[in-house]
């Protein structure tokens, strides 16, 4: 199965030019942007240099030529990169985008002038031209992404970083617009907070694929002990972490069968992420937990959420797309003493091992094991998340307002000790009280997705510019807004 998250990103590349400016920078810009994309491993779709004057788009005829070319590669192109080595022809660029109708993110770049080269033969005026193109994009209703600075050098490190970040924005947008989320089992009745709207997800392009837990239990029970895939899964399970000595081989085999059944169902249904009924039917009727199953899938960038938290799975998937790293689903669970900006985030044991940052112990559920029987609860991935930067994100469906909504921010995992069983993360978030007040008063769930590293800028750009969901970016710089004075 080929997953969106593993798919190589492809950009359509456009060099915009105004005919009466010097054509020399057009060839240089083309060569430099293609070199930048090759360096970061992104494919490029562009017409041969000879197809248009100066290899650029500077007329309606050029725009139509490029639009047809991009349409032919519609299924490949994840985003457009438009470079303005000079002022550019704003109508040609806007018409190209309008005619191609790719509905993908756009990165708009404009080149620097050099102070000693502003004579009539050398000046670029791209600083001004970018405003003209962006004005036309506003008229046409086309969103686009800015570079770090208004103008920059195509071959420079700053633009290289912009391209790498834009590639992750495009991967996030494409992944979320086409996501298939598996929901295995019914929501456990006490967890009413996990209710959500499939229809609102579908309106954003995401499809939920459901399965009754009994179907997966039957599939797992039908796997023969001599199944070749089972032998491979057993070895992978045994090498995934440290299994306590008292765990019996029969428990490991049962866990491997459950994992194999889930993996096969995920592959058959083309799911990018999943949510599973983690208790208590699985423990009572089959005799294992599903934490390590979810952990191993997450490690392979196929996030899986417990408690049938489908929106939590989408939140995890969004972070995995934005970062290219395994994400996890945690509870905002405990205060940390009297430190206002610290809290403890936990779950029984479903964190991917690289999210933990250390080799985990694979054992039995602790709290649930006390009531369900420890012998029926093997499969918990235990460990303390190692210190380092993190990003958190939570998506939710708001039926009252008919929209998806979300919050986002950055913080750190700390090395502070905490003597609780399972998967533990001590997190530090600036102005945590403000965030908790926001989550409480806006109906957000107690679950939150997190990933190692800071990638809030990528996810914020994807949501604000292209997905259009209401978002609160905790600690982020607010979008500039018009002030419309009241005139008497």
Structure tokens at 333: 């669970």
Q: Are strands 242-243 and 327-335 parallel, antiparallel or unpaired?
A: unpaired
3-state SS assignment for residue 350: coil
Domains and CATH numbers, the chain: 6-176 (3.40.50.10940), 178-473 (3.40.275.10)
Q: How far apart are CA 231 and CA 227, in angstroms?
A: 7
Residues forming a β-bridge with 209: 182
Q: Is 355 helix (H, G, I), strand (E, B) or coil?
A: helix
What CA–CA distances, in Å, run from 401 to 35, 55, 334, 405? 46, 48, 30, 10
Closest CA relative to residue 347, chosen from 395, 276, 272, 285 = 276
pLDDT of residue 2: 61
CB 173 within 8 A of CB 467: yes
pLDDT value of residue 359: 94
pLDDT of residue 471: 98
Which among 322, 356, 3 has a CA at the least distance from the CA of 182? Answer: 3
Successive 10-residue mean pLDDT values, the chain, 488 residues = 84 93 90 98 98 96 98 98 96 98 98 81 88 98 98 98 98 97 94 95 98 98 98 97 93 97 98 95 95 98 97 98 98 98 95 96 85 86 97 97 97 96 96 98 98 98 98 95 83
Could you read off the pLDDT of 410-433 as tens digits, one per residue? 999 999 999 999 999 999 999 999
Q: In angstroms, rounded to a whole number, what is the distance separating the alpha carbons of residues 280 and 417?
A: 30
Q: Confirm whether pTM is higher than 0.85.
A: yes
Asked if residues 143 and 461 have their Cβ atoms less than 8 Å apart, the reply is no
């Amino acid at each position: 199965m080929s997953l969106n998250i593993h798919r190589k990103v492809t950009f359509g590349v456009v060099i915009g030019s105004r005919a009466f400016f010097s054509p020399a920078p057009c060839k240089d810009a083309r060569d430099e942007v293609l070199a930048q994309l090759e360096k970061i491993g992104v494919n490029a779709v562009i017409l041969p240099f000879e197809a248009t004057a100066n290899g650029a788009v500077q007329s309606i005829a050029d725009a139509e030529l490029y639009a047809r070319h991009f349409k032919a590669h519609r299924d490949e192109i994840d985003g457009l990169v438009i470079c303005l080595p000079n002022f550019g022809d704003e109508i040609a660029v806007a018409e190209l985008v309008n005619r191609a109708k790719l509905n993908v993110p756009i990165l708009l770049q404009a080149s620097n002038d050099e102070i000693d080269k502003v004579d009539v033969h050398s000046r670029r005026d791209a600083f001004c031209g970018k405003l003209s193109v962006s004005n036309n994009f506003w008229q046409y209703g086309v969103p686009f992404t800015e570079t770090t600075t208004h103008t920059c050098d195509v071959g420079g490190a700053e633009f290289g970083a912009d391209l790498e970040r834009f590639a992750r924005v495009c991967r996030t947008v494409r992944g979320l617009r086409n996501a298939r989320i598996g929901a295995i089992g019914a929501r456990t009745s006490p967890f009413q907070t996990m209710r959500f709207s499939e229809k609102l997800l579908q309106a954003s392009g995401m499809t939920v694929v459901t399965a009754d837990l009994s179907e997966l239990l039957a599939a797992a029970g039908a796997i023969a002990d001599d199944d070749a895939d089972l032998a491979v899964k057993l070895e992978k399970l045994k090498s995934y972490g440290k299994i306590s000595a008292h765990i019996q081989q029969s428990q490991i085999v049962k866990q491997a069968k459950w994992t194999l059944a889930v993996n096969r169902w995920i592959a058959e249904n083309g799911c990018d992420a999943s949510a599973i009924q983690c208790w208590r039917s699985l423990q009572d009727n089959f005799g294992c937990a599903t934490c390590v199953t979810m952990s191993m899938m997450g490690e392979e960038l196929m996030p899986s959420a417990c408690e049938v938290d489908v929106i939590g799975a989408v939140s995890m998937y969004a972070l995995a797309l934005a970062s290219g790293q395994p994400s996890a689903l945690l509870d905002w669970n405990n205060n940390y003493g009297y430190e206002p900006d610290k809290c403890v985030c936990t779950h029984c044991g479903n964190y991917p091992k690289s999210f933990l940052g250390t080799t985990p112990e694979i054992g039995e559920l602790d709290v649930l094991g006390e009531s369900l029987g420890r012998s029926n609860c093997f499969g918990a991935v235990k460990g303390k998340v190692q210190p380092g930067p993190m990003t958190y994100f939570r998506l939710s469906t708001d039926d009252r307002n008919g929209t998806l909504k979300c919050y986002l921010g950055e913080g750190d995992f700390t090395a502070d000790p905490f003597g609780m069983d399972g998967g533990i993360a001590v997190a530090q978030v600036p102005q945590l009280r403000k965030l908790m007040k926001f989550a409480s008063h806006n109906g957000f769930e107690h679950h939150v997705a997190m990933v190692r590293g800071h990638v809030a800028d990528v996810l914020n750009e994807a949501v604000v510019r292209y997905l259009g969901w209401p978002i609160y970016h905790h600690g982020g710089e607010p979008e500039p807004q018009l002030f419309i004075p009241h005139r008497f």
